[in-house]
Amino acid sequence: MVTLETFLNHLNQGLPVAAGSELQQFMTELSNEARKITIELNTVWHDPKEICELFSQLTGTRVDDSFRLFPPFYTDCGKNIHVGKNVFINAGCQFQDQGGITIGDDTLIGHNVVLATLNHHFDPEKRGDLIPAPVTIGNKVWIGANATILPGVTIGDHSIIAAGAVVTKDVPKDVIVGGVPAKVIKHLEKPEKTSKIEKERDNTGKRGKHMIYKEYQDLKLSALGMGAMRLPVIDGDDARIDEAAACQMVDYAMEHGVNYYDTAWGYHNGNSELVMGKALAKHPRESFYLADKFPGYDLSNMDKVEKIFEKQLEKCQVSYFDFYLFHNVCEMNIDAYLDEKYGIHEYLMKQKKAGRIRHLGFSAHGSYDVIKRFLEAYGKDMEFCQIQLNYLDWSFQDAKAKVELLQEYKIPVWVMEPLRGGSLAKLSEEDTARLKQLRPEESVPAWAFRFLQSISGVTVTLSGMSNFEQLQQNIHTFETDAPLNDTEMKELLEIADGMVRKIVLPCTACHYCVSHCPQGLDIPNLISLYNEHCFTKGGFIAPMAMSAIPEEKRPSACIGCRSCEAVCPQQIKISEAMADFAEKLGM
Ligand code: SF4
Ligand code: SF4
């Protein structure tokens, strides 16, 4: 038998109510009971004390004496309304509270405000079913007349909802939102373009209880994003994604608070977008943020921006992307990306204006100078940037300087390769012991994430997880914000230096050698790429950069004269390195 307790327990878990079910019949009984009380409330004069009494009957819990309400007031349930102290509700409001309505202290609600907590099923065959999601309103919030707040929305403390707004997404604290759908119009605090950590507690319905969220403009992004470039595959074939396993991972990630998903045209031979589209389609569109990218890593795509963008929306089964990036800005494609004849920037800005791209940014594997060139051209329009950032690349790939450059432009950082393709998931026994001494409870992979938690400006960290275990571990790690202290940071960067020193050539980029080379090779740059190639044991970065260097300036052009070695203070055997590099690259 359905009781009030079992009914509320069911709905507060976000579970659907099937049409014609016992639960739905019970809902009708509650509605009748509520109407009896509201008829009394709305048709007879009552003083404030009597109104408090009637409202307490309606909600089934004693409201504080400071509560004020101007009738008429309408609800078809009442038993899942929870109000704090000193709350005021003006005349004509309608609360559909079966999914749960919580109103914080000192909150003011204007005339005719609608708070809705039930959706109907998207599937036409199940259209009569009801899907609950709570509305949670913080302290000292002001909701203007005729605003509508939709199911699942949380409104942060102190925020203002402008009259007539339709609020479809969470509202951070200390902002004014307005419009349909509502967007942030103004920050009530000093505005910050860079992110700030906010620890989310269990107040957002189905979201993870402990996931760290970061405020980004008017959004709350999970600090951990799911990268869809290393999804589980069948028989080791990168193009054959194990769809069932990938969907299960997405469901689990959603359930545990991950709301950022990153795919791209080229991942899994084009199948990542299709599988992510399917996996996310069963979740409400407003419950996740999807990122996709224009595949400019392939120059033959440059004149196809419109065709590719339309196809990406179709593959992902969405009508807009929350985040869209120029993919992999690097030496090889920077000229084409900046070339107006392709009109890529212009087209993407138009899509942004049309609401089909909500936030525009770029990812970069290129050098500091390439990123700088891109920023000089388009920096004012870039809202985020995704770079390879981890404690090894902090100095090895100049990531520190890149982060500082982005900070100059006030562009928040998205992180890719936090574990450097898995190479930071396991360290030598000696290095592991050094870390264990500092934090006995922390795993080796977790150190990579703690490092990122220590870097100002880092907002979303993407991890391309290939199995459930990695996903669970990463979610667990991102439930705690534990940045490194100075000693820990020093130790970790020393370990990184040691790892790099074991493999690479100790070039300091002093440039003494350059003027001695009869072939005019940019020796320090070539050695830097050689180091990267050796450390990564191959990979795409060095070949990609090399393709932008003319043949007569590549390592194969070295004639082995060794004039450079005579002046190198590090006594690097440059001619041997050039020969080895040329052989490794095969170009
Ligand atoms: S050995 Fe090669 S790199 Fe060095 S100076 Fe001669 S040609 Fe240039
Ligand atoms: S002289 Fe040696 S250390 Fe200096 S840039 Fe050339 S290779 Fe690097």
Measured from the CA of 514, which atom of ligand 2 is nearest? 6
CB of 161 closer than 8 Å to CB of 142 = yes
pLDDT at 200 over 70: no
Cα–Cα dist 360/329, whole Å? 14
Cα–Cα dist 323/308, whole Å? 16
- pLDDT at res. 204: 34
- pLDDT at res. 468: 87
Q: Does 527 sit in the ligand 2 pocket, CB within 6 Å?
A: yes
Measured from the CA of 560, which atom of ligand 1 is nearest? 1
- Cα–Cα nearest to 473, from 448, 494, 455: 448
Ligand nearest the Cα of residue 554 is: 1
Q: Angle CA(323)–CA(328)–CA(331) in degrees, nearest 5?
A: 150
Cα–Cα dist 289/460, whole Å? 12
Q: Does 508 sit in the ligand 2 pocket, CB within 6 Å?
A: yes
Distance 533 CA to ligand 2 centre (A): 18
Least confident of 135-139, 209-213, 551-555: 209-213
- pLDDT at res. 197: 40
Ligand nearest the Cα of residue 579 is: 1
- pLDDT at res. 209: 56
What whole-number percentage of the chain has pLDDT above 70? 96
Question: Do β-strands 212-216 and 219-222 pair in parallel, antiparallel, or remain unpaired?
Answer: antiparallel
Distance 538 CA to ligand 2 centre (A): 23
Q: Which residues line ligand 1 (CB under 6 A)?
A: 516-519, 521, 523, 558-564, 574-575, 578
pLDDT at 198 over 50: no
In Å, how far from its chain's centre is CA 237?
28
CA-proximal residue: ligand 1, atom 3 (nearest): 558
Question: Which phi and psi (to 5°) does residue 167 adopt?
Answer: -95, 115
Question: Do β-strands 142-143 and 108-109 pair in parallel, antiparallel, or remain unpaired?
Answer: parallel
| Average pLDDT of the residues in 491-517 | 86
For 440, which DSSP code?
T
Q: Angle CA(89)–CA(92)–CA(98) in degrees, nearest 5?
A: 75
Q: Does 513 sit in the ligand 2 pocket, CB within 6 Å?
A: yes
Tokens of residue 583, six digits: 């052989």
Q: Does domain 216-497 have CATH number 2.30.30.100?
A: no
Distance 565 CA to ligand 1 centre (A): 8
Tokens of residue 185, six digits: 């119009």
- pLDDT at res. 174: 85
Ligand nearest the Cα of residue 512 is: 2
Measured from the CA of 524, which atom of ligand 2 is nearest? 5
pLDDT at 316 over 60: yes
Ligand nearest the Cα of residue 527 is: 2
Q: Identity (one letter) of the amino acid at 479?
A: E
DSSP one-letter string for 104-120: -TT-EE-TT-EEE-EEE
Centre a 10 Å sphere on the Cβ of residue 52 and count the other Cβ atoms it contains.
19
| Average pLDDT of the residues in 523-529 | 92
For 171, which DSSP code?
B
In the beta sheet, which residues pair with residue 283?
A: none
Tokens of residue 573, six digits: 């055997």
Q: Does 512 sit in the ligand 2 pocket, CB within 6 Å?
A: yes
Number of helices followed by number of strands (H, E) in the chain: 19, 31
pLDDT tens figures, 202-254: 333 334 458 999 999 989 999 999 999 999 999 889 999 999 999 999 999 99
Q: Does 521 sit in the ligand 2 pocket, CB within 6 Å?
A: no
Q: Where in the chain is the domain with CATH 3.20.20.100?
A: 216-497
Measured from the CA of 561, which atom of ligand 1 is nearest? 6
Tokens of residue 400, six digits: 């520190």
Cα–Cα dist 158/140, whole Å? 5
Q: Does 515 sit in the ligand 2 pocket, CB within 6 Å?
A: no
CB of 397 closer than 8 Å to CB of 415 = no
Tokens of residue 232, six digits: 């589980």
Which spans in 319-455 are helix H?
Answer: 334-338, 344-353, 368-378, 393-396, 399-408, 429-438, 444-453
| Average pLDDT of the residues in 8-15 | 88
Least confident of 9-18, 139-148, 359-368: 9-18
- pLDDT at res. 201: 35
Q: Does 574 sit in the ligand 2 pocket, CB within 6 Å?
A: yes
CATH H-level, domain 4-187: superfamily:
Hexapeptide repeat proteins (2.160.10.10)
- The set of catalytic residues is 120
Q: Which of 562, 567, 570, 573 to mutate to test the pocket of ligand 1 (most atoms within 8 A of CB)?
A: 562
Q: Where in the chain is the domain with CATH 2.160.10.10?
A: 4-187
Least confident of 206-215, 252-261, 562-571: 206-215
What whole-number percentage of the chain has pLDDT above 90? 74
CA-proximal residue: ligand 1, atom 5 (nearest): 517
Q: Does 511 sit in the ligand 2 pocket, CB within 6 Å?
A: yes
CA-proximal residue: ligand 1, atom 6 (nearest): 561
- pLDDT at res. 206: 39
Tokens of residue 135, six digits: 């509305």
Distance 536 CA to ligand 2 centre (A): 21
pLDDT tens figures, 474-489: 998 898 889 999 999 9
CB of 405 closer than 8 Å to CB of 375 = yes
* CA 86 to each of CA 63, 89, 96, 105, 348: distance values in angstroms, whole numbers, following the listed order: 10, 10, 21, 6, 48
Distance 523 CA to ligand 2 centre (A): 7
- pLDDT at res. 203: 33
Q: Which of 519, 530, 571, 580 to mutate to test the pocket of ligand 1 (most atoms within 8 A of CB)?
A: 519
Distance 399 CA to ligand 1 centre (A): 29
Q: Does 572 sit in the ligand 2 pocket, CB within 6 Å?
A: yes
Distance 517 CA to ligand 1 centre (A): 5
Q: Angle CA(413)–CA(419)–CA(424) in degrees, nearest 5?
A: 140
Cα–Cα dist 134/153, whole Å? 7
| Largest distance between two CA atoms of the chain | 102
pLDDT at 292 over 50: yes
CA-proximal residue: ligand 2, atom 1 (nearest): 568
Q: Which of 523, 556, 576 to mutate to test the pocket of ligand 1 (most atoms within 8 A of CB)?
A: 523
CA-proximal residue: ligand 2, atom 8 (nearest): 507
CA-proximal residue: ligand 2, atom 3 (nearest): 507
Distance 291 CA to ligand 2 centre (A): 41
| Average pLDDT of the residues in 445-467 | 93
DSSP one-letter string for 448-470: HHHHHHTSTTEEEEEEE--SHHH
- pLDDT at res. 107: 95
Where does the pLDDT of residue 330 fall: very low under 50, low under 70, confident under 90, or very high at 90 and above?
A: confident
| Average pLDDT of the residues in 503-511 | 79
Where does the pLDDT of residue 256 fall: very low under 50, low under 70, confident under 90, or very high at 90 and above?
A: very high
In Å, how far from its chain's centre is CA 242?
24
pLDDT at 408 over 70: yes
Distance 373 CA to ligand 1 centre (A): 29
| Average pLDDT of the residues in 278-291 | 94
CB of 412 closer than 8 Å to CB of 457 = yes
Distance 21 CA to ligand 1 centre (A): 82
pLDDT tens figures, 33-58: 999 999 999 999 999 999 999 999 99
pLDDT at 456 over 80: yes
Ligand nearest the Cα of residue 530 is: 2
CA-proximal residue: ligand 2, atom 6 (nearest): 513
Mean pLDDT score of the chain: 91
CB of 302 closer than 8 Å to CB of 265 = no
pLDDT at 424 over 60: yes
Centre a 10 Å sphere on the Cβ of residue 368 and count the other Cβ atoms it contains.
16
